[in-house]
Amino acid sequence: MLGPEKYGLVNFAVAFTTYFTIITDYGFNLSAVQEVSINRNNKERVSELFSSILLSKILLFVFSTILFFLIINSFAIFKYHYVLYLVTYFSVLGSVLYPVWFYQGMEKMGYIFIINFSVRTIVTICIFWLIEAESDFMKYALFNSIANILIGIIGLAMIIFKLKITFRVPKIDLVKEQFKNGWNLFLSTVSINFYTTSNVFLLGLLTNITAVGYYSAADKIRIAAQSILQPFSQTVFPRLNFLINQSEKRYFQFLKKIAVYQTIIMFFVSLILFFGSKKIILVFLGPKYVDSVIVLEILSVLPLMSSFTTIFTMYILIVFKKHFYYLISFFISGIFSLIVIVSIVPNIGFAGAAIAMVVSELIALLSAYFFSKRIKNFHKKLWT
């Protein structure tokens, strides 16, 4: 309904505000999961972790908000659609409030499903009901932000009232500890952003908003298909952290089983996206988005590649607390992504952004595999 131009404009705004979400999330969505998973049976420690991380995210949100207003008031590119950027920024607050890391660490994934499914179903109905023309792009942005804020509020309330975790003003040393634990993972998230969200943002700067619309529409379908992996990895990651502290043998048995299932599932997802790309685009987006077909064909390999990357980064490097290796893997791929985007996007547009994405994912995968081999006897234990 919005068309490539207006849809591209909204996604450009989302890409911009995602930088602030990265700041407020810091590395907590990974480091905190490990901490909570290990201490899940110690309610006192879990309450301390919950309080210190929530306070840390609030402090980062205050910093991000100041930075956000400084930027949008300083550059002309943001001033014309000032309200759009402001509305989109509300979603950052939802990210601050929503403690997905806590539910993952406690392995209470059912709560995440119920909260997300309920809120997003209602919001999706509102989108289908109230979005009628291209001029409604502001409503679309507002609905997405409202969804994130509602999910955050409900998620936080359930922890306090249902799981009986109390917020208490944490000690400064504990807050410092959380920032220290999440630092390398935060830098890794920034590096990953170089070839995910930054693709959209740089595409908009180097070409035009319509090109962003074609790329974002195809990438949304790829993300939707690949999201099959997300609840899988969100469940597996805390379990692996728990097992490695209990029994190395059980960890390797579970990892090998999960790696096989995950690879088979994502192989078929990539296959369907590649061979069905044209039909998928026409059915879900309509003939106005026919230029998105080439983008989806290029991106179709990502679900399978991301499956392998997740195994070697989240399931291995992070579980073994090799955070520096995790950082370097994505830093290298992020740098390559920027080089590729700047080199080819001005000439071939949105297809170039898709190629940059695939190249960067491949480099991240190869780097993570190389670094995982540096863990003593790891591959011998994995393959035997």
Calpha distance 196→220 (Å, rounded)? 12
Residue 378: what pLDDT?
64
Q: How confident is the model at residue 72 (pLDDT cuts 50, 70, 90)?
A: very high
Tens digit of each residue's pLDDT (9 = 90 or more) over 297-318: 999 999 999 999 999 988 988 8
Distance CA 256, CA 344 (A): 39
How many helices and strands, by DSSP H and E, does the chain display? 19, 0
Would you say residue 196 has pLDDT above 80?
Answer: no
Specify the pLDDT at position 294. Answer: 95
Distances (CA, A) of 249 to 38, 239, 308: 18, 14, 21
State the distance between the two ends of the chain, measured CA to CA, in whole angstroms: 53
| Cα-to-chain-centroid distance, residue 318 | 16
Mean pLDDT of 52-71: 94
Burial grade of 257 (CB within 10 A; 0-12, 13-18, 19 or more): exposed
Cα-Cα-Cα-Cα torsion 312, 313, 318, 324, nearest 10 degrees, comes to: 120
For the record, the structure tokens of 15 come out as 């890409």
- Amino acid 157 reads A
- Predicted pLDDT of residue 384: 59
Give the per-residue pLDDT at 40.
80
Q: Considering Cα of 303, then 266, then 295, then 86, what sign does the dihedral take?
A: negative
Q: Which of the four pLDDT bands, split at 50, 70 and 90, describes residue 380? A: low
Check: CB of residue 232 under 8 Å from CB of residue 262.
yes
pLDDT at 31 over 90: no
Give dist(CA 341, CA 283) in Å, integer. 29
At 342 the pLDDT is 87
Q: Tokens in use for 279?
A: 């039909």
0.85 exceeded by the pTM?
A: no
In Å, the largest CA–CA distance within the chain is: 60
Closest CA to 16 of 71, 59, 95, 94: 71
Q: What is the mean pLDDT of the chain?
A: 88
Sequence letter at residue 58: I
How far apart are alpha carbons 334 and 329 in whole angstroms?
Answer: 9
Higher pLDDT: 77 or 309? It is 309
pLDDT of res. 320? 86
- Which of 83-92, 168-177, 220-229, 316-325 has the largest mean confidence? 83-92
Q: Answer for the pair 313, 172: CB distance below 8 angstroms, yes or no.
A: no
The answer, yes or no, to whether residue 365 has pLDDT greater than 90, is yes
pLDDT reading at 33 higher than 90: no
Per-residue pLDDT for 231 more than 80? Answer: no
- Alpha carbons 301 and 322: distance in angstroms, whole number: 27
- Per the structure block, which two tokens stand in for 129? 């009901």
Instruction: Say whether 208 sits in a helix, a strand or coil.
Output: coil
**What pLDDT is attached to residue 109?**
77
Is residue 218 within 8 A of residue 295, CB to CB? The reply is yes
- Cα distance between residue 382 and residue 371, in whole Å: 14
pLDDT score of 300? 96
Query: In the chain, pLDDT over 70 holds for what percent of residues?
Result: 97
CA-based nearest residue to 242, from 105, 383, 113? 105
Mean pLDDT, residues 328-336 taken together: 86
Q: Which residue has the higher pLDDT, 374 or 85?
A: 85
- State the average pLDDT over residues 181-192: 79
Nearest of 82, 194, 186 to residue 141 by alpha carbon: 82
Kindly indicate the confidence band of residue 60, based on its pLDDT and cuts at 50, 70 and 90.
very high
Cβ atoms of 145 and 101 within 8 Å: the answer is no
Q: How confident is the model at residue 331 (pLDDT cuts 50, 70, 90)?
A: confident
Residue type, 105: G
What pLDDT does residue 154 have? 93
Between residues 168 and 225, which one has the greater pLDDT?
A: 225
Q: What is the pLDDT of residue 166?
A: 81
